[in-house]
Amino acid sequence: MSSIAIDPPDHPIDHPHGPKPGLLRWVFTTNHKDIGTLYLWLSLTMFIVGGSMAMCIRAELFKPGLAFFEPGFFNELTTLHGLIMIFGAVMPGFVGLANWMIPMMIGAPDMALPRMNNWSFWLLPFAFTLLISTLFINGPAPDFGWTAYAPLSTIYGPKSTDFFIFSVHLMGLSSIMGAINIIATILNLRAPGLTLMKMPIFVWTWLITAFLLIAVMPVLAGAVTMMLMDRHFDTSFFNAAGGGDPVMYQHIFWFFGHPEVYIMILPSFGIMSEIIPTFSRKKLFGYTSMVYATSSIALLSFLVWAHHMFTTGLPVIGEIYFMLATMLIAVPTGVKIFNWVATMFRGALSFETPMLFATAFLIMFTIGGFSGLMLAMVPADYQYHDTYFVVAHFHYVLVPGAVFGIIAAVYYWLPKWTGHYYSETLGKIHFWLSAVSINVLFFPMHFLGLAGMPRRIPDYALEFADFNKIASVGGFVFGCAQILFLLIVIRTIRGGPKAPAAVWEGAHGLEWTLPSPPPYHSFTTPPKVY
């Protein structure tokens, strides 16, 4: 059979499968770097939106009395702040980092399922548009807290709760597709010779996180579907009057909710395992134990959900089990922290901005872990439960743990992505403003909680005024500091000192050190053997 030679198009844009021009490029892109960039910009946008709500909350709590908002609107702000920060800022941020870095770290040409990758991103802007639109439609927005406990969200939930349910379904669908893509990429597209135990820890943490996502997101989807049925189809899953049980909602939600906490932390562990060896000029201490510790944390996260429910009347034997199982998570977490400190020990340390954020992560995440051990003790939890001590605990885990992790990763990889170095001076100013203000913001909340101040209230007794004022000032400074971060990122994208291929070698005399070197793969020649 004869063949007809066809000249290639003059420009890749002319090719039916090539990049699209202008904005269409971003709508239809299947390139893992483009999609990673879209995720990161969405994350930053949602971080600003959710952070603005936090500023409103802290403004209301600056002094006793109702200054700016009615109690109902205050509850709407706290609900949307939690949902947007968790599902809109932290999770898309980590997925963006995964999209950017995993194919490059394992020698893959792209993600395994590029079109599904595009779809999984574009579900999210519509999901968050639905969620945020509840502030502007007739009637109140969801006002039952981000946990959406029944019957507050079923019998007493506003009409906008249906928007919340639909948006959660879209977020879950996006997360499941993204997780399938990551697993397929890591298991099928690694360069020849790159075994699982040679992968960078960041890839390992995301592989484990992806399995967690696939396991728990359908559980959340089931919970909100039952909520929808109770609201509109006269079922009584969570309605005690019809034979249901509102506490069952808590069991289902926290079976999702506690692994979700580790979904937001494990990728940060991987980021720290990349940054700390680089700026210590040493290989990561205890690579194998890091992999097993991460796996242990993921497994244990499924076995401790009811420590959020000690005050619901669990059997004593159940309380004892969940208390001990919760304390057990401290063991693999302690292994990881020991390994990071051991990596830094006797290393040739230098404290560029990514290393500063990594060090702050180590210190403040450990503080959050210790307050978590306090909450794990059943008799003490009866006093701490639903007070600002809990708010202090999870913010000490999530802000230094997840948010600082994403910021550190952006500083670390931004020169690799853009070809330009950021301003180290501005980066350090951003770090010190953030690190100091975050402690001014959240540390006083421990004392407020121990003194008995309940969470999710717009007004409070006079004796809580001083610590609330200090916390609010810290919150305003932390919020303003993130505007500086946005300016640093934009400035670096637009230009700056040129960064070589080995980013942390040329300008700062640092060696790019990974647990396993990024594999060489041209897909035409045999791979190098490391």
Asked if 261 contacts 301 with a C-beta cutoff of 8 angstroms, the reply is yes
Q: How far is CA 310 from each of CA 247, 318, 362, 380, 489, rounded to the nearest angstrom?
A: 12, 9, 29, 10, 44
Q: Which of 308, 395, 430, 446 is catalytic?
A: 308
Q: Which of 174, 209, 278, 387 is catalytic?
A: 174
Q: Which of 100, 204, 254, 262 is catalytic?
A: 262
Half-sphere exposure at residue 500, Cβ-oriented, CA atoms within 13 angstroms: 10
81 flagged as catalytic: yes
Q: How far is CA 377 from each of CA 326, 415, 442, rounded to the nearest angstrom?
A: 9, 45, 22
For residues 240 and 53, give the distance between their C-alpha atoms in angstroms, rounded to a whole number: 34
Q: Which of 336, 393, 446, 521 is catalytic?
A: 336
Supply 178's token pair.
């993204």
Q: Which of 307, 393, 395, 521 is catalytic?
A: 307
333 flagged as catalytic: yes
Q: Which of 79, 120, 175, 359 is catalytic?
A: 175
282 flagged as catalytic: no
508 flagged as catalytic: no
455 flagged as catalytic: yes
Q: Which of 258, 282, 393, 395 is catalytic?
A: 258
Q: Which of 25, 33, 420, 455 is catalytic?
A: 455
336 flagged as catalytic: yes
273 flagged as catalytic: yes
For residues 344 and 339, give the distance between their C-alpha atoms in angstroms, rounded to a whole number: 9
Q: Which of 25, 41, 63, 110 is catalytic?
A: 110
What is the residue whose two structure tokens read 């506690």? 258
437 flagged as catalytic: no
Q: Which of 39, 146, 249, 412 is catalytic?
A: 146
Q: Which of 81, 169, 198, 395 is catalytic?
A: 81
Taking Cα atoms as reference points, which of 27, 49, 24 lies closest to residue 38?
27
Find the radius of gyration of the CA atoms of the chain: 24
Strand partners, 137: none
* Helix (H) or strand (E) run with residue 409 in it: helix 404-418
Strand partners, 454: 387
Q: Which of 60, 230, 260, 274 is catalytic?
A: 260
430 flagged as catalytic: no
110 flagged as catalytic: yes
Q: Which of 153, 205, 326, 333 is catalytic?
A: 333
Residues 6+ apart with CB under 8 A from 390: 375, 384, 449, 455
Q: What angle do CA 138, 139, 145 make, to 5 degrees?
A: 135
Supply 441's token pair.
């913001």
Residues 6+ apart with CB under 8 A from 153: 142, 144, 161, 164, 227
Residues with catalytic roles: 81, 110, 146, 174-175, 258, 260, 262, 273, 307-308, 333, 336, 455
